Amino acid sequence: MTNSVLDAIENRRSIVRFETTPIEEEKIQAILEAGRWAPSWLNKQPWRFIVVTELAIKERLSELVPTIFKLGVREAPVCIVVSVDPNEDSFHFIEDGAAATQNMALAAHSLGLGSCWIGTFAFKKEKKSAEEKIQEVLEIPKTHRVVSLLPIGIPKNVEEKNRKELSQLVYRNKFGQTK
């Protein structure tokens, strides 16, 4: 079975290197709309999106992510930071932010762009964690949490990735049961 949504899910890849070519504002808005339409617990929509395009800010952010992602954050013409307000949804704010991030990654792919989900959430809210430093750089209120960074741009290259067979992942009725 094929359809455009399933194709986008199957063919999206994490892109870590980008062309510096600017992205049309219309595409950025479409990606943000996809994030806005993500599901959330009781439709709370606790997310806020920060669209970072200034090179100086992207350079500061790049120093706060794991090595493999540093160049991508700098190179991508746009980096969307997903934050959530736990006061709006104290039970599922992480999942809500994750759903918004995934929607935007799929939207970027559907528009011919690449992205890479960079998780930044610090479970124990550690002092001086990458999450806390990102909050400082972007002046995000301490009441919010940073779920992810999503650099977006034209991919420099797309690597093929293999996936586990579905038979390795699916059980029927009970864990471990295949029939």
Q: Which domains does the chain have, with CATH numbers?
A: 4-158 (3.40.109.10)
Torsion (CA) 28, 62, 95, 91 in degrees, nearest 10:
-120
Question: pLDDT tens across 38-58, in order?
Answer: 999 999 999 999 999 999 999
Asked whether residue 100 carries a pLDDT value surpassing 90, the answer given is yes
Contacts of 98 (CB under 8 A, 6+ apart): 147, 148
Contacts of 162 (CB under 8 A, 6+ apart): none
Inter-residue contact 150 to 77 (CB < 8 Å): no
User: H-helix or E-strand containing 47?
Assistant: strand 47-52
> What share of the chain has pLDDT > 70, as a percent?
99
Q: At 21, is the secondary structure helix, strand, or coil?
A: coil
